[in-house]
Amino acid sequence: MCTSLLYLNLAYTPISDGALRSLSKFGLNLQYLSLAYSKKFTNKGLNYLATGKGCHKLVYLDISGCTQISVRGFRSLGIGCSDIEHLVINDMATLTNSCITAMVSYYYNLTTISLLASPHISDAAIKALVQGKRITKVKIEGNQHISDASFKMLSKNCPNLNHIYVSDCPRITDNSLKSLATLKHVTVLNISDCISITDGGIRYFMDSPSASKLRELNLSNCIYITDLSLLKIAQRCHSLTHLRLRYCECLTDSGIEWLGNLPVLNTIDLTGTNVQEQGLGSLSNNTRITEFTVAECSGVTDIGLQKFYHNMYDLGYLDISHCLQVSDLSTKTLAFCCRRLISLNLTGCPKITDLSIQYLAGVCHYIYFLDISGCVNLTDSIFKFLKKGCKRLRVLKMLYCTNITQEAVKAVTNVQHLEYNDENPPLWFGYDNKGNELVTKKEDEET
């Protein structure tokens, strides 16, 4: 084994304790090590790292999915790899507070920690992580035990914290944002699926020193926030480039209008919101948008999209999937105004016909990814247009395309990844194989 090795990725491999024993002897300069989802080694192998000469210079360690490691193994990692700065322990259903405590008590240089899908740790683990550390980045997801107390400790002990990812942690409330408001350097804040967050919490954070430095904000499924939060965001977040508001159902066009004034915003996700023509028209004031998602928005129509597309010369990624009212009319405007389009998702748009593909292929020559699943009115004719105009197309998805034949699909040769079937659209698409909207039982009874 090369003693000069700096980087070693052993993720998803059947390595055994013998491999770790070799690392403990010869990994004298190793700085990056990933053992993620490697299930064959045991605590005995990790003990070699604690007693050998190798791996003492590790600064990055990923042990995601290694559920066979017990408290004893975590302690060995702490002793043997005490210079760790970046620690990743995702997908660990067996991870407990004791595991974290046994390990990080040796880590004095720790700056980033990722604990995604580790449901059994609690505030006690966070306390152990932050004491005497210089944490700048923390990621936690899918945890029922982490509470506001953790963020009180983080904000008190980690003044340089700048990246906060806390998703699907239902015990997190406005008080956490009140604690984080004392921080001065936060650039990324993700509190998606923290369903207790309200306008009050957003106001706390938007009045903080970090608001003007914030670059990425994810409030997806924070179902209680309203247009008042969008007003505060528009007033304070002048450095914001990425904003995700998926399924924030209380938002209206009145609030979305404010987002058009954010000077550097380039990515926005409004999936499942009530955005309509007025909101789309206002967003067109921001000509920097390169990535735009309005999937599953029942209020999105051709007229609204046409207003939006007119100034979107740099738009590269567009997702209007499951917008049932979208037709060839707006696609024509899209094609001629957004010629730099790279990725387009039209899944579940039953009114789209071959004419749309003809428009797109005629001028959008950079398209790399195209999803037309559920576009039941498309026919084999689209392949002629795509072959001629979309020479860079590499990914093409065509599930539930009932009028496209298997023979035509077999003739496609210029696409690296292709998905196809001619089955009827699932019921949840909301229409039949002719593109006719399905009438629910409740609606049928009302008529």
pLDDT per residue over 209-241, tens digit each? 999 999 999 999 999 999 999 999 999 999 999
Enclosing domain of residue 285: 275-447
User: Would you state the pLDDT for residue 445?
Assistant: 53
Q: What is the rounded distance in angstroms from the CA atom of residue 61 to the CA atom of residue 67? A: 15
The one-letter amino acid code at 439 reads V
Structure-token pair, residue 431: 């229409």
> Per the domain annotation, does 170 fall within a domain?
no
> Per the domain annotation, does 305 fall within a domain?
yes
User: Would you state the pLDDT for residue 190?
Assistant: 99
User: Would you state the pLDDT for residue 414?
Assistant: 87
| Mean of pLDDT values over 300-307 | 98
Q: What is the rounded distance in angstroms from the CA atom of residue 11 to the CA atom of residue 64? A: 9
User: Would you state the pLDDT for residue 444?
Assistant: 54
Judged against a pLDDT cut of 80, whether residue 387 lies above it is answered with yes
| Mean of pLDDT values over 10-33 | 95
Q: What is the rounded distance in angstroms from the CA atom of residue 36 to the CA atom of residue 146? A: 24
pTM, two decimal places: 0.94
> Per the domain annotation, does 385 fall within a domain?
yes
User: Would you state the pLDDT for residue 35?
Assistant: 98
| Mean per-residue pLDDT of the chain | 95
| Mean of pLDDT values over 126-142 | 93
User: Would you state the pLDDT for residue 322?
Assistant: 98
> Per the domain annotation, does 408 fall within a domain?
yes
> Would you tell me how many other CB atoms lie within 10 Å of the CB of residue 274?
17
Judged against a pLDDT cut of 90, whether residue 2 lies above it is answered with no
Judged against a pLDDT cut of 80, whether residue 254 lies above it is answered with yes
Q: What is the rounded distance in angstroms from the CA atom of residue 180 to the CA atom of residue 329? A: 46
Confidence class of residue 1 from pLDDT cuts 50, 70 and 90? low
Structure-token pair, residue 170: 């239902």
Domain harbouring 279, CATH code: 3.80.10.10
Query: Percentage of the chain surpassing pLDDT 70?
Result: 98
| Mean of pLDDT values over 429-443 | 84
**Per the structure, how many domains does the chain have?**
1
> Per the domain annotation, does 361 fall within a domain?
yes
* pLDDT tens-digit map of 84-127: 999 999 999 999 999 999 999 899 999 999 999 999 999 999 99
User: Would you state the pLDDT for residue 441?
Assistant: 57
Using CB atoms within 10 Å of the CB of residue 388, give its burial: 0 to 12 exposed, 13 to 18 middle, 19+ buried.
exposed
> Per the domain annotation, does 264 fall within a domain?
no
Rg (C-alpha) for the chain, rounded Å, is 26
- Name the one residue in this structure whose structure tokens are 């790279």: 342
Judged against a pLDDT cut of 80, whether residue 447 lies above it is answered with no
User: Would you state the pLDDT for residue 446?
Assistant: 54
State the greatest distance between any 2 C-alpha atoms of the chain, in Å, as a whole number. Answer: 78
| Mean of pLDDT values over 164-184 | 97
| Mean of pLDDT values over 173-196 | 98
CA 441 to chain centre: 35
Q: DSSP string of 3-53?
A: TT--EEE-TT----HHHHHHHHHH-TT--EEE-TT--S--HHHHHHHHHSS
| Mean of pLDDT values over 51-66 | 94
Q: What is the rounded distance in angstroms from the CA atom of residue 95 to the CA atom of residue 136? A: 22
User: Would you state the pLDDT for residue 442?
Assistant: 53
* pLDDT tens-digit map of 328-357: 999 999 999 999 999 999 999 999 999 999
> Per the domain annotation, does 426 fall within a domain?
yes
Alpha-carbon distances of 315 from 195, 209, 287, rounded to whole Å: 31, 31, 9
Positive or negative torsion for Cα 125, 131, 133, 136: positive
Distance spanning both ends of the chain, measured CA to CA = 76
Identify the DSSP state of 138: E
Confidence class of residue 4 from pLDDT cuts 50, 70 and 90? confident
> Per the domain annotation, does 418 fall within a domain?
yes
